[in-house]
Structure 1
Amino acid sequence: MTTMLEVAKRAGVSKATVSRVLSGNGYVSQETKDRVFQAIEESGYRPNLLARSLATNKTQTLGLVVTNTLYHGVYFSELLFHAARMTEDQGRRLILADGKHSADEERDAIQYLLDLRCDAVIIYPRFLSVDDMDAIIKKHPQPIMVLNRRLRKNSSHCVWCDQKASSFNAVSQLIERGHRDIAFITGSLDSPTGIERLSGYKDALAQGSIPLRNALIAEGKWSPESGAAAVETLLGRKENFTALVASNDDMAIGAIKKLHDSGVRVPEQVSVIGFDDIAIAPHVIPALSSVRIPVTEMIKETIERLIFMLDGGDFHYHPPFLGELIARDSLISGPA
């Protein structure tokens, strides 16, 4: 295995000079840098990354904690793709840690990434409370950003979408289109996002002076199968509804299939909208109306803040993000 000393001899410089080139510390002329990099390429030398991180106190890595219940969905694929791409654009690597099934396991995943000497960590929490995350941020010197949750004490360390307001606006648009009998399929009710989207639905009904009918609410679990099962539950209750809001697109697609199989026409008898505006939404039949959550923009803001905290640079605080209803074929006006 080639050593740093052999690289130094090949480049005609000292071992200390090679070390300065690799660490980026101290002045080295461009001509010397070129000779060192050429020697590295010709010799096949691979720096000891652990030793370099100990010397520089940086690993050029960002950690991401996500619970595995999100892994199977299209939403997570988009989140991970953009996080990895934008981290690469910043000349860093992304390391993923599984938050598993509890607050303690999410906390362990964060500590695992910190033990790996990640320069900073992004948390997409499912189980940790807001107070837990505020305490974690206070405890550790490394920058920690929380994605999709609003913090009380560390507003600059969180990037979030107002899920309640996004749901409120979408349901309000249904009401403006003449719908009054609006059914709702929740997400998992141990999910903060699921709870906030349900809360927005209820507030929109109250704002529109429409009585809340619990029989028009069915619980889902984010999957197409749970969306279909929720529609079966709603139809079994014999309650009339002209519009259906599902808390994500996967459930909305399952719901449309079950409505079709039950002889209920979409959108002629029931308009349907989902959340997240996944890539397939415009391509199902009918094309699915959906609340677009700006995942790309949220990831970009998160990574830019981390880079600011690590390296300095411009920082512009962004207010909460807001979802936007993208109306397609699955949505028409309600009965006159």
Structure 2
Amino acid sequence: MVTMLDVAKKAGVSKSTVSRILSGSVAVSEKAKEAVYQAIEETGYRPNLLARQLATKKTSYIGFVMTNVLYDGPYFSTIVYNAASFSESNGYQLVLADGKHSAEEERNAINFLLDMKCAGIVVYPTYLSEEEMGQIIEQSETPIIVINRHVPSHPEIAFVADHYQCAVDMMEYIISQGHQHIAFIRGTKGSSSGEQRFKAYKNVLERHQIPFNEQLVVQGAWRPDDGYEGVKELTARKQTMTAILAGNDEMAFGAMKALNELGFRIPQDISIAGFDNIAMSNYVTPALTTVGIPFDRILQKGILYLIGDERHSDVIDLNCDLIIRDSVCPPHQ
């Protein structure tokens, strides 16, 4: 492997001169610069950018921590895409660190990115508590933001959609179509967004004086097969059901498959809706009524905040969008 010393020997200068030229120093003659660049071309030398940036305590990296249990599926691939895209558009490289399967491993991933001297770090926490995230933020000189989780001690660095209001809006729409027997397929236990959506489901039922029926609720974990099995469980309970609200689009897709197999027409017999507005929701039949969670804007707003562009960050709103398509209609009379 070609080293900086090889370049220096080829150019007839010292190693420190090569280093100064690569770091952009102006205190080097044009003749020396020309010789070094010629030597780099002839030797094929590739500078170690990380080592150089660590030495100056400045890097062009944005770190992103997310546990690998979230990697699978279109929803989270879209999140990573947006994080990478907005980092790149602002002149930064995204570095993904795996939070794995525990709070300790999430903390280790954050420490790894801190050791890399990232310009800032985005954390999508799964295991670290709100209190633990607050402590990490207070102890770090590197700017850290949190997405999809509130941090009461540092609300200014928590970038999250209002999942409760998103679910309220969807429930109000479903009820406005005449539905009173609405089933709910829950997301993973302990999920902050899932709990907020379920809370909204119950509160809107109460607001409309519709009795809450535990038999119309099944537990899922965000996957299509959870929606599929959830519908099988709901129909086995023999409860009246004219609409299903799934905790996310992927579970809604699984639920639609089960309803079709069981002979139900969507939406004539049973309406269905979801959350997230992933790309496929507009291409299933019927097209899925859903809520658009603005993760593109969440990440854009958060990354602008990380790099110190609060003026542009502040004007980005994080309101959800109710997207009405074909999968919800008034109940069949």
Shared fold, TM over 0.5: yes
RMSD: 2.6
Question: Which of 327, 330, 333 is the aligned partner of 1:333?
Answer: 330
Taking a change above 3 Å as real, the CA distance of residues 132 and 319 of structure 1, as seen in their structure-2 partners, is farther
Q: Which residue of 2 aligns with 1:270?
A: 270
Q: Which residue of 1 aligns with 2:318?
A: 321
Give, in angstroms, the shift of residue 89 of structure 1. Answer: 2.2
- Residue type of the alignment partner of 1:295: F
The answer to whether the 8 A contact 2:269-2:332 is kept is no
Cα deviation per residue 1:29-88 (whole Å; 9 max; x = unaligned)? Answer: 999978865664454222233431232102221211111121112111101111122222
The answer to whether the 8 A contact 1:126-1:192 is kept is no
Of residues 248-257 and 47-56 in structure 1, the stretch that sits farther from structure 2 once superposed is 47-56
Q: Which residue of 2 aligns with 1:234?
A: 234
1:45 equivalent to 2:34? Answer: no
Taking a change above 3 Å as real, the CA distance of residues 307 and 37 of structure 1, as seen in their structure-2 partners, is farther
Aligned equivalents of 1:29, 1:322: Cα separation in 2: 55
Aligned equivalents of 2:120, 2:325: Cα separation in 1: 40
Cα deviation per residue 1:128-147 (whole Å; 9 max; x = unaligned)? Answer: 11111111100111111101
Aligned equivalents of 2:142, 2:33: Cα separation in 1: 31
Q: Which residue of 2 aligns with 1:304?
A: 304
- Residue type of the alignment partner of 1:326: I
The answer to whether the 8 A contact 1:23-1:56 is kept is no
Aligned equivalents of 2:272, 2:30: Cα separation in 1: 61
- Residue type of the alignment partner of 1:120: G
Aligned equivalents of 1:27, 1:326: Cα separation in 2: 59
The answer to whether the 8 A contact 1:100-1:106 is kept is yes
Matched ranges for 1:207-286 at <5 A: 207-286=207-286
Q: Which residue of 1 aligns with 2:173?
A: 173
1:88 equivalent to 2:88? Answer: yes
Q: Secondary structure of the equivalent of 2:146?
A: strand
Matched ranges for 1:179-218 at <5 A: 179-218=179-218
Taking a change above 3 Å as real, the CA distance of residues 251 and 313 of structure 1, as seen in their structure-2 partners, is closer
Taking a change above 3 Å as real, the CA distance of residues 25 and 303 of structure 1, as seen in their structure-2 partners, is farther
Identity rate, percent: 44
Aligned equivalents of 2:30, 2:277: Cα separation in 1: 49
Taking a change above 3 Å as real, the CA distance of residues 12 and 317 of structure 1, as seen in their structure-2 partners, is farther
- Residue type of the alignment partner of 2:124: Y
Aligned equivalents of 1:227, 1:262: Cα separation in 2: 14
Q: Which residue of 1 aligns with 2:164?
A: 164
Gaps of 5+ in 1: none
Q: Secondary structure of the equivalent of 1:127?
A: coil
The answer to whether the 8 A contact 1:172-1:208 is kept is no
Cα deviation per residue 1:83-128 (whole Å; 9 max; x = unaligned)? Answer: 1222222232222122122222211221122223323211101121
Matched ranges for 1:2-41 at <5 A: 2-4=2-4, 7=7, 18-24=18-24, 40-41=40-41
Q: Which residue of 1 aligns with 2:117?
A: 117
Aligned equivalents of 2:239, 2:32: Cα separation in 1: 78
Taking a change above 3 Å as real, the CA distance of residues 26 and 203 of structure 1, as seen in their structure-2 partners, is farther
Aligned equivalents of 2:223, 2:31: Cα separation in 1: 58
Q: Secondary structure of the equivalent of 1:275?
A: coil
Aligned equivalents of 1:74, 1:217: Cα separation in 2: 25
- Residue type of the alignment partner of 1:158: A
Q: Secondary structure of the equivalent of 2:172?
A: helix
Matched ranges for 1:61-76 at <5 A: 61-76=61-76
Q: Secondary structure of the equivalent of 1:62?
A: strand
Q: Secondary structure of the equivalent of 1:268?
A: coil
Cα deviation per residue 1:251-283 (whole Å; 9 max; x = unaligned)? Answer: 101101111111111100111001111111111
Q: How many aligned positions are there?
A: 333
- Residue type of the alignment partner of 2:141: P
Taking a change above 3 Å as real, the CA distance of residues 118 and 267 of structure 1, as seen in their structure-2 partners, is same
Give, in angstroms, the shift of residue 298 of structure 1. Answer: 1.1
Give, in angstroms, the shift of residue 148 of structure 1. Answer: 0.9
- Residue type of the alignment partner of 1:124: Y
